[in-house]
Amino acid sequence: MKLFLSTVIIIFSLSAQAAWSQEKQIVVEDFKPSSVNQPEKKFPQVNSQRRIRTSILAPIAHSVQLDIGGVKYDMQKDSNGIWIGESNPQDEGFHYYQLNIDGASVPDPGSLYFYGAGRLGSGIEIPSSDQDFFALKNVPHGLVSENIYFSKLTNSHRRCLIYTPAGYNENEKTRYPVLYLQHGSFENETGWTTQGRANLILDNLLALKQAIPMIIVMDNGYAYKSQSNKVKEGREESVFEEVLITEVIPMIDAKFRTISKRESRAIAGLSMGANQTMRIMMNHLDTFSYYGGFSGTANYPSTDVINVSTFLDGKYKEGNALNKKIKLFWLGLGTKEPIPFPGSVGAFRAMLEQQGIKYEYYESPETAHEWLTWRRCLNQFASKLFK
């Protein structure tokens, strides 16, 4: 019996290796330049199998690899010193990548650069079957503007990006609800418009009359006390919550035609931003009425159970006060997300149900911890706001 099982395992292993090898060798030659290439650059390219092909001139290099998410693919050099190679099939959506030349990781000069993974680097778009909802189309477009401000809490100049919907500048008497939308770890305030296509998602939703016109504020989630106020041992203390509540929101209400009340404010974020905004929401229910957590580990504020009785006040004394305060409690993630995301979100959902807290839950099909997941989440979440 043991011999039989060993033989079966060996045959299965050899068959799997042969299948993998065959998949690696058969490459469909229908590559096209990526939609996020530098102008006039032919590489990187993507084919119908969702493989990425890159090319770079490096005549004196000894080794060049394509690195996508830590998986490295060897490239080959021709007689002209041009290296070329391709990856295995990738998931649909946006991916960060880099080239590794003789051990040094560098951006691909053929792609546009995006701030992610803590650096400006290369990115590529693998066409998705549902990309129409974030595509650039012939519809009225809103404006993304840069707002620079000085933060007393951080003793530094900071920046947030503001999306105002189409018609904002023409309809001078109309006031708008506001969504405060946060990025993930090792990204910044540019992520949601550059990688996330948030402005295009809202433009398309509004053109279809599937969302309420709103302002979106995207700030940098990395905010620390000034050098003179840092805690001991060189560790930095985050003051992003205080910056948002005491500096950013009053500034936005003063500069833009907002509806400055809690019923017209939402807060949401992805990954790190989901956890940040969850804590902020629960600490400031007098400021926000809608919450969206995309791919967060959903700890509140760490692993504590939400005690709904602590949210009773003079207005809501009976029933579940938290359900009356939060108009929408929304969670979403991709079906291919790695641990700890599905597990911790599952435990968090179980806790919400045990406490009788109402929420909505969405799973993005066949996506992992990546921008296509979060684009889909925003598309779903924004369509439910302020209604």
- Answer yes or no: are the C-beta atoms of 85 and 66 closer than 8 Å: yes
Residue 284 lies in a domain: yes
The answer to whether residues 113 and 145 belong to one domain is no
Tokens matching residue 95 = 């991916």
The answer to whether residues 63 and 116 belong to one domain is yes
Residue-level pLDDT at 116: 94
The answer to whether residues 85 and 152 belong to one domain is no
Q: Which of 242, 140, 255, 122 is nearest to 194 (CA)?
A: 122
Q: Distance between CA atoms of 171 and 176, rounded to whole angstroms?
A: 11
Q: Which of 345, 313, 334 is nearest to 377 (CA)?
A: 334
3-state secondary structure of 297: coil
Residue-level pLDDT at 306: 83
- Answer yes or no: are the C-beta atoms of 331 and 352 closer than 8 Å: no
Residue-level pLDDT at 312: 64
Residue-level pLDDT at 309: 73
Angle between helices 198-207 and 371-382 in degrees, nearest 10: 40
Residue-level pLDDT at 226: 74
CA distances to 110, 131, 297, 304, 316 from 351, rounded to whole Å, are 47, 34, 13, 10, 22
The answer to whether residues 210 and 113 belong to one domain is no
The answer to whether residues 149 and 213 belong to one domain is yes
Q: Which of 288, 275, 272 is nearest to 322 (CA)?
A: 288
What radius of gyration do the chain's Cα atoms show?
A: 24
The answer to whether residues 140 and 119 belong to one domain is no
Residue 275 lies in a domain: yes
Residue 295 lies in a domain: yes
Beta strand 290-294 with 265-270 is parallel
> What is the residue range of 204's domain?
132-382
The answer to whether residues 96 and 185 belong to one domain is no
Give the distance, in angstroms, between the CA of residue 145 and the centroid of all CA atoms in the same chain.
20
Q: What is the mean pLDDT of each run of 10 residues along the chain (387 residues)?
A: 37 41 73 96 97 98 96 97 97 96 96 94 96 97 98 96 97 96 97 98 98 98 75 69 98 98 97 94 95 83 73 62 91 89 82 91 95 98 97
Q: Which of 62, 59, 60, 53 is nearest to 100 (CA)?
A: 62
Question: 68, 102, 127 — which closes off a domain?
Answer: 127
Task: Write out pLDDT tens, residues 23-39.
Answer: 456 999 999 999 999 99
The answer to whether residues 208 and 283 belong to one domain is yes
The answer to whether residues 149 and 218 belong to one domain is yes
For residue 100, is it left (φ>0), alpha (ψ between -120 and 50) or beta?
beta
Q: Distance between CA atoms of 243 and 309, rounded to whole angstroms?
A: 28
Cβ partners under 8 Å of residue 23, min gap 6 = 88
Residue-level pLDDT at 344: 79
For residue 62, is it left (φ>0), alpha (ψ between -120 and 50) or beta?
alpha
Work out how many domains the chain is built from and give that number: 2
Question: 111, 127, 143 — which closes off a domain?
Answer: 127
pTM: 0.89
The answer to whether residues 177 and 268 belong to one domain is yes
Query: Could you tell me the CATH number of the domain that includes residue 162?
Result: 3.40.50.1820
Query: Could you tell me the CATH number of the domain that includes residue 120?
Result: 2.60.40.10
The answer to whether residues 238 and 317 belong to one domain is yes
